[in-house]
Amino acid sequence: MRLHAAPTSLLGILLLSASAWPAAAQEAPEAEWDVTLARGETSEIDFTTEEGTWMSVDLSPDGNWVVFDLLGHIYRVSAEGGEAELLTGGTGVAVHFHPRYSPDGTQIAFVSDREGQNNLWLMDADGSDPRSVFTAPLTRAVEPAWTPDGDYILVRLGSVSPDPGGRSGIWMYHKDGGEGIQVVDDQPSAAWPSPSADGRYLYFHVYTGPPGLQGRDALAGHWQVRRKNLRTGEITDVTAGTAQQQVRGSSGSAYAAEISPDGRWMAFARRIAGGTISYRGHRFGPRTALWVRDLETGAERVVMDPITVDNAEGIKTLRILPGYGWSEDGSEIVLTQGGKIRRLDVASGEVTTVSFQARVQRTVSEMTKADFRIDDDPFQARFLRWYGASPDRSRIVFQAVGRIWTSSAGGGEPARLTQGDGPFEFSPSWSPDGQWIAYTTWDGGEGGHVWKIPAAGGTPQQLSTSPSEYAHPVWSADGSELVVT
C-alpha cells in the first residue's frame, strides 16, 4: 500500500474550514425555553365560578382575607365573601398552589412551576413581587408552612429523578433563599409540616403501613402523627393504633395535623369507620371528618363531619387533604368542603360559608400525543377464565377478553357465543342437560345481571330482575334453578 501526501493547498482549505465551524455554530445560539408559554394549537378557557375542587386555603393573621388556589392559580377574597382577586396572573400556563400567609400577613408562600418545576416561591400579600426561594429541576416542593418568627419556611420535598441531585423529606429554607437544611429525613413518607407556636416542635404525619400498593389504608391506622423536638432531635408518637385498638368510632389513623396558634390544640383528619356520604344519589365511604385533640389532656372530639374526602390511598398526589388553617386567635378553622370555603367555629361547631366569585382565565396548550393504530387483528388470548366442559365432554366454554366463547374439546378455532358490544360477560356455566349456558354480566354504570343462552348460540335471556354484582352461577341438579354469588 502506498501513501500519498495531500497537496498543501488542500490542507490549507481543510484547516480554514475547520477553524470556521465553531464560529458559525456560535452565531445562532439556541433560544432559552420559556416554560410558561402555551405551545401548539392553543385553546382559551374563560368562566366565572362560585365553587372549586380540592382548594387549599389559608386565613390572613388579621382575619380579613382568605387566600386559596383554584385551577392552578392563587386568589384572595375578603373573609366576608365577595369577588376573588387573582394574585398569580400573567404567568402563562404555569400553575401555582398551596398558598400560606406569613405570620405578619405581609407575604404568601406558595408553590409554582413557572421555572419548570414545582418549587418554593414568595409573593407579597397583594400578589406583587413574586420571587423564588429556590429553583431546582430535580426537586418538587409541596405543603409550605412558616416558622413562627416568619424567617423560615418548612416544605416537603420530593425527588423526581433516581439520579443524585434531587431532595426529599421535610426541609427548611430561609425566606430569602439559600441551601436549606433537612429537618426530617428518616421518617417514611413524612409530610404536612406544622410547627408549634413556640418554635420548639414540628408536627408531621408519616406512613406506618406495609410497603407497596397494598398499604396506605387509613382505616387500618397506616397514617400517624409524629412530633420532633427541634432542640434535641427526639421524635415521639402523637397518635398510634389501628382500627381495632381505637375507641370513639375512630378509624385509627390521623393525618394532616395543624397546630393552633397557642399550641394547645391539634386539628387533624381521620376517617369515620362505617360512615358514608351521598353524592349525586350514590352513597360511598368511608367519609373523612375533622377532629381536634387537646394536647394537654389527650381528649379528642369531632368538630366537623364530613369534610372533603381524603386521598390517603393516593400514590402520586400533591397532598393527602386540601390545605386548611387556624385563625390567629384559635377560635376558627378555615377549610374547603363541598366545593365551598367554610369557616368553622371550633367551640360550637357552627359552620359559615365564605362565598366567592372567581373568574378563571387559562390558556391551554395543545396536548402532545402520538397517533398509533390499535391492533384489531386476531391474537392469542393469554388469560382464560371460568373454563368448563359440557356434560358430554364434547365442548368447552370459557371467558376471554370480556366475552364468552365455546370450542370443540378436541381443539379448533373458538367461536363467540354471544353477539354485540354489550356489557362484559363473566362466569359461564353449563346446564346439566348441556342445552344452556348461564353467565353474568357487568356494566360499570348500570350494574350486572344473570343470563342464560342456548349452548348453540342464540338470543340471551335475562334471569335477574335487579342490577347487582353477580358471579359464579351454579345450576341445580335438575336444571330448574341457579345459585349465584
pLDDT at residue 219, as a whole number: 83
> How high is the mean pLDDT of the chain?
90
Q: Residue 115: which residues within 8 A CB-CB, separation 6 or more?
A: 35, 132, 135
The answer to whether residue 246 scores a pLDDT higher than 70 is no
Tens-place pLDDT, residues 168-227: 999 999 999 999 999 998 788 999 999 999 999 999 999 998 876 667 888 888 999 999
pLDDT given for residue 16 in this prediction: 33
Q: What is the mean pLDDT of residues 402-407?
A: 96
What are the structural domains, with CATH classification, of the chain? 43-364 (2.120.10.30), 385-483 (2.120.10.30)
Contact (Cβ atoms closer than 8 angstroms) between residue 291 and residue 302: yes
The residue ranking higher by pLDDT, 126 or 244, is: 126
Tens-place pLDDT, residues 45-102: 999 999 999 999 999 999 999 999 999 999 999 999 999 999 999 999 999 999 999 9
CB of 79 closer than 8 Å to CB of 354: yes
Tell me the average pLDDT across 330-346.
98
The upper half-sphere exposure of residue 421, i.e. CA atoms within 13 Å in the direction of its Cβ, equals 0
Decide: 287 and 275 in contact? Cβ < 8 Å. yes
Residue with cell 432542640: 231
Q: How many CB atoms lie within 10 A of CB 348?
A: 9
CA atoms within a 13 Å half-sphere pointing along the CA-CB vector of 167: 26
Which of 23-27, 95-99, 110-114, 333-337 is predicted least confidently?
23-27
Q: What is the pLDDT of residue 17?
A: 36
Cα→Cα distances 219→199, 239, 250, 253, 266, Å: 32, 14, 9, 7, 20
* pLDDT value, residue 255: 97
Task: Spell out the residues 6+ positions from residue 51 whose beta carbon is closer than 8 angstroms to its own.
Answer: 338, 339, 340
Residue 355, Cβ density class (10 Å: 0-12 exposed, 13-18 middle, ≥19 buried):
middle
For residue 20, which phi and psi values (nearest 5 degrees)? -85, -20
Q: Which three cell numbers stand for residue 243?
A: 382500627
**pTM for this predicted structure:** 0.75
Q: What is the dihedral of CA 316, 320, 323, 328, to 10 degrees?
A: -140
> What is the Cα–Cα distance from 287 to 304, expressed in whole angstroms?
11
- In which element (H, E) is residue 11 found? helix 8-26
